[in-house]
Structure 1
Amino acid sequence: MSEDLGYGWQGELLDLPAYLKRIGHVGGTAPTAATLRALHRTHVTSIPFENLEIILGRPVDLSLDAVQAKLVERPRGGYCFEHNRLFAAVLERLGYEVTAVAGRVTMGASKILPATHALLHVRPPDASRDEPAWLCDVGFGAGPLEPLRLVDGEEAVQDGWGFRLRRGRTVTAWTPNTSEWELHQRGPDGWVQRHTSVLNEVFRIDFEVGSHYVSTSARSPFTTRPFVQRFAPDSLRVLDGKTLKITRPDGRTEARTLAPEDLPKTLEEDFGIALEDKDRTRLTDIIRAKA
């Protein structure tokens, strides 16, 4: 067996039929732009975003076996590094050209923040180099439903949800030809810059480094409370600590505060996440202790 040098996404190790069943994809799998859009949509709407392993005190394993076991074989989800680790392997297996890039989640902030988000730059194998590639973001938890073409000013309204891509500032004087790509999301008060990225390739080992920071640092937003999202054409459900918030494409929202003992049931009914009995009890105890 040859040594694994860390390149590529190990698509040959993927259980593709199990993945397609998990996301409910029933169409073709030829590596076209149409297939990419369909897979992106069914992945985003089927596998939730969640940080529960971190809250339960367990490490996040990014090996393909572990990610498949959690996101495909079990009614669980994950965060961006897990989602895009899996999706990259799927696309590679199907024949797409897949390159990972790192993003800085800003949510409107202007200061420099760490590159702790994973995205994918994807081309169908028969696409001309003159055609724009696609930016896939299945691991943010709040869409987009489908990938966006890497075109400056590209806007997409997907089932009422608005997204756009823009070229941002030049990164540094040392790289005058390199600029950031900004992904904006439309909210009730207009467009908000969600994250920025530079088209510099990152690898599986970089996912490991970013995931370690996100899952262990006291400065990470994911080490302090449960944060779970499920995106659908008609709603974005977010569990932030004990607060359940539902947002509609037109901006309407509703929110309520849950009792700690209600969290496991809410995870199952609203997010499709079924915890094992010991984890249900542990999560309830952790949230009750924080309160």
Structure 2
Amino acid sequence: MSQKVNLNAYFERIGFAGSIAPTLATLEQLHALHPAAIAFEDLDPVMGRPVRLDQASLEQKLLHNQRGGYCFEQNTLFMNILRDLDFTVRAYGARTLWGHPEGAERMISHMVLVVDIAGTSYLCDVGFGTFTLLAPLKLRADSEQTIGQETYRITRNGEGFRLDVKLNETWHAVYQFDLIEHDAAAIAALSTYVETVYHERALLFVSRGDKEGRYNLSGNRLTIHRPGVERERRYATSVEELKAILSETFRIALPPAQELDPALQRVLDAQPVEAS
């Protein structure tokens, strides 16, 4: 790998202290710790800051500055870490289906990873947001797989695969991807497109997941899912409320107020405040 990777800083950030052998056990532990510690967030695009995918920039932002990032940042960092640990990793572009009508034409706007271990391939994704995987899934069609309280299935979709999640006994499509490997240039081009959309539409998405539950912020709406507990939902009505949620619920070290506050106000203005 041409870009130097700071494994110690990454391990400290996610709280990892296990074996670094390129085994399934290592992958599972890293995959659980990463999304629990490093939130999905798109604050930089919303603020109009450029998203940089080189390893030094990713480490400065996600590790040293205690920030999060969106899919291209999260999965690029995870891919680089895994490759430095001698895992075999491939990156693919994915079409997001979650929240869109069945059969709707979707362009590639997401990034997923496939890791090969001892002859078996695993789908890995530490950066989807609402349903960021908390463990790798075997890339095996038509088999249900459970992660904590959530059940997933992977089905064949033409030349690729589709990921579904079961909610209230009903299957919902999450995303689909073809097995066309993406290099750094292709990933950067996808990232630039998504970055522009998030900025122009003032789309704020933040998510963090661990064994205690999932926490999702969409615009000014915070939703908390905990196993065995009724879903909690509330709405932020001010910039200060949004900042408190970002720092307390998502454990994000906030950017300077002179950049963040106007961006969060744009988010509030773009989505009318709703009553809980």
Equivalent of 2:163 in 172, 183, 197: 183
The 1:114/1:154 distance shift into structure 2, 3 A limit, reads same
Question: Residue 116 of structure 1: SS of its match in structure 2?
Answer: strand
Aligned-pair identity (%):
33
Give, in angstroms, the shift of residue 150 of structure 1.
1.0
Alpha-carbon distance in structure 2 between the residues aligned to 1:151 and 1:288: 42
Shifted more, 281-290 versus 66-75: the winner is: 281-290
Give, in angstroms, the shift of residue 154 of structure 1.
2.7
Q: Which residues of 2 match residues 6-21 of structure 1 at below 5 A?
A: 10=2, 13-21=4-12
Alpha-carbon distance in structure 2 between the residues aligned to 1:105 and 1:228: 16
Alpha-carbon distance in structure 1 between the residues aligned to 2:229 and 2:171: 12
CA RMSD of aligned residues (A): 1.9
Paired amino acid for 2:179? L
Q: What residue in structure 2 maps to residue 111 of structure 1?
A: 104
Q: What residue in structure 2 maps to residue 257 of structure 1?
A: 235
The 1:41/1:114 distance shift into structure 2, 3 A limit, reads same
**Contact (CA 8 Å) 1:80, 1:139: kept in 2 or not?**
yes
Q: What residue in structure 2 maps to residue 276 of structure 1?
A: 255
Alpha-carbon distance in structure 2 between the residues aligned to 1:286 and 1:143: 26
Q: Which residues of 2 match residues 92-111 of structure 1 at below 5 A?
A: 92-107=83-98, 109-111=102-104
Number of aligned residues: 266
Question: Residue 9 of structure 2: SS of its match in structure 1?
Answer: helix
**Contact (CA 8 Å) 1:161, 1:186: kept in 2 or not?**
yes
TM-score, normalization by structure 1: 0.85
Q: Which residues of 2 match residues 19-168 of structure 1 at below 5 A?
A: 19-107=10-98, 109-124=102-117, 127=118, 131-141=119-129, 142-168=131-157
Question: Residue 31 of structure 1: SS of its match in structure 2?
Answer: coil
Paired amino acid for 2:108? A
**Contact (CA 8 Å) 1:54, 1:223: kept in 2 or not?**
no
**Contact (CA 8 Å) 1:45, 1:232: kept in 2 or not?**
yes
The 1:154/1:251 distance shift into structure 2, 3 A limit, reads farther
**Contact (CA 8 Å) 1:51, 1:222: kept in 2 or not?**
no
Query: Is the strand fraction higher in 1 or 2?
Result: 2
Alpha-carbon distance in structure 2 between the residues aligned to 1:222 and 1:272: 26
Paired amino acid for 2:190? G
Alpha-carbon distance in structure 2 between the residues aligned to 1:44 and 1:26: 16
**Contact (CA 8 Å) 1:53, 1:59: kept in 2 or not?**
yes
TM-score, normalization by structure 2: 0.90
Any gaps of 5 or more consecutive residues in structure 1?
A: 1-8, 171-178
**Contact (CA 8 Å) 2:219, 2:268: kept in 1 or not?**
no
The 1:48/1:222 distance shift into structure 2, 3 A limit, reads farther
Give, in angstroms, the shift of residue 251 of structure 1.
7.9
Paired amino acid for 2:237? A
The 1:105/1:228 distance shift into structure 2, 3 A limit, reads same
Alpha-carbon distance in structure 2 between the residues aligned to 1:183 and 1:251: 25
Paired amino acid for 2:184? R
Give, in angstroms, the shift of residue 180 of structure 1.
2.2
